[in-house]
């Protein structure tokens, strides 16, 4: 297994995955009788297949991590990081990984015509999302969000 740094605006500090949406630009299926479904994807996904929204606590910033295309992705409990933690890696919020258990369990996900494909991993204290993509995502600052203080 190999781990490389993936520098993002939220690589350090406390982060939360607040939304994950996957939507094709267009969906269609044709049946033998000639009937079909034709659905357009959402405008939010006009240019991106997968969008992960991340809140960075220290800067109170919300970011969209937008992947143009993906070969596979999974959102799982932070227990999915056990293999990485067992390897003794100091694990940042964001990393590039390859040669790990998922790549061995689901090799078809990693054989998308791109040699030397790495997964993008975003890890929080509660969950992590791993995205197999041959291109780095675009990361956009969506805006600031302030913490609300409860008053009694």
> pLDDT digit string (tens) for 42-95?
888 888 999 999 999 999 999 999 999 888 888 887 665 666 666 655 567 898
Nearest CA to 2 out of 96, 130, 113 is that of: 96
Q: Alpha-carbon distance 39 to 35, whole Å? A: 13
Q: Alpha-carbon distance 96 to 106, whole Å? A: 17
In a domain? residue 94: yes
Asked if pLDDT for residue 117 goes beyond 80, the answer is no
In a domain? residue 58: yes
Please count the CA atoms within 13 angstroms of the CA of 138 that sit on its side-chain side: 12
In a domain? residue 69: yes
Domain span holding position 47: 2-31+38-144
In a domain? residue 150: no
Q: Provide the pLDDT confidence category of residue 13 given band limits of 50, 70 and 90.
A: very high
In a domain? residue 107: yes
In a domain? residue 23: yes
Q: What's the pLDDT score for residue 88?
A: 58
Asked if pLDDT for residue 148 goes beyond 80, the answer is no
Higher model confidence: residue 32 or residue 147?
Answer: 32
Predicted TM-score of the model (pTM): 0.81
Q: Provide the pLDDT confidence category of residue 10 given band limits of 50, 70 and 90.
A: very high
In a domain? residue 149: no
In a domain? residue 74: yes
Number of domains in the chain: 1
């Amino acid at each position: 297994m190999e781990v490389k740094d993936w520098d993002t605006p939220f690589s350090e500090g406390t982060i939360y995955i607040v939304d994950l949406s996957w939507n094709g630009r267009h969906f269609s299926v044709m049946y033998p009788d000639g009937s079909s479904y034709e659905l357009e994807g959402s405008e939010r996904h006009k240019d991106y297949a997968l969008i992960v929204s991340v809140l960075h606590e220290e800067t109170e910033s919300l970011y969209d991590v937008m992947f143009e295309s993906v070969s596979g992705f999974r959102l799982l409990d932070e227990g999915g990081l056990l293999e990485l933690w067992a390897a003794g890696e100091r694990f940042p919020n964001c990393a590039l990984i390859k040669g790990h258990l998922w790549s061995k369990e689901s090799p078809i996900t990693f054989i998308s015509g791109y040699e030397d494909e790495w997964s993008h991993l975003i890890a929080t204290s509660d969950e992590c999302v791993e995205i197999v993509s041959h291109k780095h995502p675009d990361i956009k600052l969506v805006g600031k969000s302030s913490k609300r203080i409860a008053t009694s």
